Amino acid sequence: MQSLVSNKLSAPVLMGLVALYALGQLIWYAGTPMGISPVLDGQENLLLAQRIAQGDFGEEPFYRSILYPAVIAYFPLGYSFLGLISHLANTWLTGRMAHLFWSNKLAQLTTMVLVGFNPVLLHFAFDPLDTTLALSFFLCSLYAGLLASRCNKQATQRLLLAACGISIALATLTRPHYLLTAAAIGILLLYGIFRQRLKPTSLASFTIALLIPLLAMGFFQKSLSGEFRILPWQGAYNLWTSNSPDANGLYYRQTLSFHSLEEHQNPNKLEGMALYRAATGETGTIDERKAYWRQRTIEHILANPWDWTKLIAFKLYASLNNFEQYNNKTFSFHKALSPYFNYNPICWGLIWSLAVFSAVSTWRSKKCDILPLGIIGLSLVAGLLMFMASGRFRLPLVPLAAILAGGVPIVWKSLKQTSSRHRIAIAIFTFLAASLSFSRFADIASTDSYLQDALLMADSAARIGADQEAIKWSGYVIEKSPQQQQALRLNLISHYNQIASGEHAATEQIWQELANRDTHLQLDDELLAYIRGVIAWNLGQNKRATQLWQSGYDNYGLNASACLAALEYAGTPVREFNYKEISLDQWRSPNNWLYAVAVAQSMSLEERAAFLQSVGVSPESFKNISESLGRVIPRER
């Protein structure tokens, strides 16, 4: 069997197949709304990367890890190709470790299949998220450590352990939960010294290499903010939300709503600050807020040990269960949409069950190899139990389990020579592992997060102008939750956009339908104020329309420049506002172009051309925006 595989399929050929499969998914995903316009953490990473590319790292200590946004800020091929390269590197590294672990090429190929074609790993690879890059650093560290454990030359061993230290430090700076893994590696090295398998200089090489990047980050933060900090400061509040009485053990659930956020504002950060202020009456320093959330967590655990124990048990169950919990996206929701994932059988439950099968089968002969891998895995599970068992947090366990699962072809071949008692033990442990993964206790496979997935799809589609797609997904949410305000908002805006673009004719019936939709909407913002005024105008309620636009400007200032545009275009400009007060930089923002076009309508041709050129509105854009204004604010009916 092995010779047949060796002749027909080599590691380079398999890597080529993995690359084609991954590239196919990348090309498909790049054409979807969320592939074009990322959401949540991905959107924030892109905004941070944009600031970093301009040399702006901010003046306060980093709330979240900054290494990944810094990498994509300067990576010339973009974050999607960085994800592709990282995934291919992860496939190769895991395959090499399986080859070293089992001394078998078939094991290497099996592991590469389980990692390279893994739909969950690819699901997160092409968003601007730190997971895949951090996984590459983590696997580089493990590979270097594995090579060092098999190396007899002390000089080479020290170099390899130095590479191990640097790599796990970079993984930690990308995703801080790898700090526990760095500690686990250090413990393994100490044990190696205790058993006289390693020299103390080897541990020193690892430690010095580990500390250099961490200390460099600390001094870099000090140069920016005046405070020496190695890790970001979001962990304390995340610890509370992950262990509080309201924690679900699976994913972060925001309790406060921040409808309109300025760029770079993290809702988790704002929520933590707002709740601290509500509880203490003070703003507090970063250290005071961190201490407060840590103390609340400890007090809650000590006061409710049984409830917390049940939560931890549920997190452990979720960590080993096959269902991929929500984290920015729910995998099962998006798997059904992808032509590359829909029929792919590779999943966590399969890999985990095969890993347990291999580990139990070879425990007696390979205990010394399996134990270190298990300790590394336990360090990752500890992070899941401290925080939450969401999809991205579990991903580092996949390559570890795949290394063990790679031995299945070898183990299966030798199973006949195994004693019946041992075979029974293998069957029992494998059955228990599969049962944990594929069971559905405690609503572990809840699809409640699907509404959030659909809402994010609608938001992405609306931002790229795919209005019919936005209507489809917001309608999906409204059908299941009729009063969901964000969905109602996106649905109204997208229907309006179809009229403004000329895709749908502007009839009185359509405007009345929009007015009916608005009756269920309780939110208010600068865009809704403008659209509500437009609806009123087209239903013959001119006075109410101008009042809505005026109110929009009163409440939101220049952010409501669309309201100013409507008042200008309708012939009722805001008297106390002079468009000449707007700076050139403000005019050049596309958000203010609607107002620029409305103002330019009353200018002479020569004056209009000079004004539009100065604010960056092309003649074609002026024509399109003018036609759009004419559709939605007709001066004669």
pLDDT bin (cut points 50, 70, 90) of residue 597 is confident
- In terms of average pLDDT, the best of 138-147, 280-289, 442-451 is 138-147
Q: What span, in angstroms and rounded, lies between the C-alpha atoms of 328 and 38?
A: 10
Q: Which two tokens stand for residue 622?
A: 């002026």
Percent over 90 (pLDDT), the chain: 65
If you average pLDDT over residues 602-620, what whole number do you get?
86
Sign of the four-CA dihedral 373, 378, 384, 387: negative
- Could you tell me where the DSSP H helices lie in 525-601? 526-538, 542-556, 561-569, 584-587, 593-600
pLDDT bin (cut points 50, 70, 90) of residue 263 is very low
Structural contact between residues 449 and 21, judged by C-beta atoms closer than 8 angstroms? no
For 194-222, write each residue's pLDDT tens digit: 887 788 888 899 999 999 999 999 999 99
Q: What span, in angstroms and rounded, lies between the C-alpha atoms of 636 and 332?
A: 51
Which residue in the block uniquely carries the two structure tokens 């009729």?
482
Would you say residue 149 has pLDDT above 80? Answer: yes
Structural contact between residues 533 and 629, judged by C-beta atoms closer than 8 angstroms? no
- Three-state SS across 143-180? HHHHHHHCCCCHHHHHHHHHHHHHHHHHHHHHCHHHHH
Q: What span, in angstroms and rounded, lies between the C-alpha atoms of 297 and 245?
A: 10
Which residue in the block uniquely carries the two structure tokens 């339908």?
513
Would you say residue 561 has pLDDT above 70? Answer: yes
Q: Which two tokens stand for residue 596?
A: 């620029």
Residues whose CB falls within 8 Å of the CB of residue 180, separated by 6 or more in sequence, listed in order? 379, 380, 382, 383
Would you say residue 534 has pLDDT above 80? Answer: yes
Sign of the four-CA dihedral 41, 42, 47, 48: positive
Q: What span, in angstroms and rounded, lies between the C-alpha atoms of 536 and 279?
A: 43
If you average pLDDT over residues 259-266, what whole number do you get?
52
Q: What span, in angstroms and rounded, lies between the C-alpha atoms of 311 and 247?
A: 8
If you average pLDDT over residues 585-592, what whole number do you get?
80
Would you say residue 374 has pLDDT above 70? Answer: yes
Would you say residue 265 has pLDDT above 80? Answer: no
Domain ranges of the chain: 2-232+322-441, 470-632
Threshold 0.75, pTM exceeds: yes
Q: CA neighbours within 13 Å on the CB side: how many for 242?
A: 20
If you average pLDDT over residues 523-541, what whole number do you get?
93
Q: What span, in angstroms and rounded, lies between the C-alpha atoms of 225 and 474?
A: 42
> What is the pLDDT of the chain when averaged over all its residues?
90
Structural contact between residues 221 and 227, judged by C-beta atoms closer than 8 angstroms? yes
Q: Which two tokens stand for residue 314?
A: 């549920």
| Angstrom distances, CA of residue 14 to CA of 88, 96, 113, 398, 460 | 11, 13, 8, 19, 35
If you average pLDDT over residues 374-403, what whole number do you get?
93
Percent over 70 (pLDDT), the chain: 95
Torsion angle defined by CA atoms of residues 609, 612, 618 and 620, in that order, rounded to the nearest 10 degrees: -70
Q: What span, in angstroms and rounded, lies between the C-alpha atoms of 443 and 480?
A: 19
Quick one: how far is CA 146 from the chain centroid? 30
Q: What span, in angstroms and rounded, lies between the C-alpha atoms of 226 and 219?
A: 9
pLDDT bin (cut points 50, 70, 90) of residue 600 is confident
- Other C-beta atoms lying within 10 Å of the C-beta of residue 327: 24
Q: What span, in angstroms and rounded, lies between the C-alpha atoms of 65 and 173?
A: 6
Q: What is the DSSP string of 434-466?
A: HHHHH--GGGTT--TTHHHHHHHHHHHHHHTT-
Q: CA neighbours within 13 Å on the CB side: how many for 417?
A: 6
If you average pLDDT over residues 595-618, what whole number do you get?
86
Structural contact between residues 370 and 404, judged by C-beta atoms closer than 8 angstroms? yes
Q: What is the CA radius of gyration of the chain?
A: 29
By 3-state DSSP, what share of the chain in percent is helix, strand and coil, each rounded to 5?
75, 0, 25
Structural contact between residues 320 and 347, judged by C-beta atoms closer than 8 angstroms? no
- Could you tell me where the DSSP H helices lie in 175-234? 179-194, 200-225
For 8-48, write each residue's pLDDT tens digit: 678 899 999 999 999 999 999 999 999 999 988 999 999 99
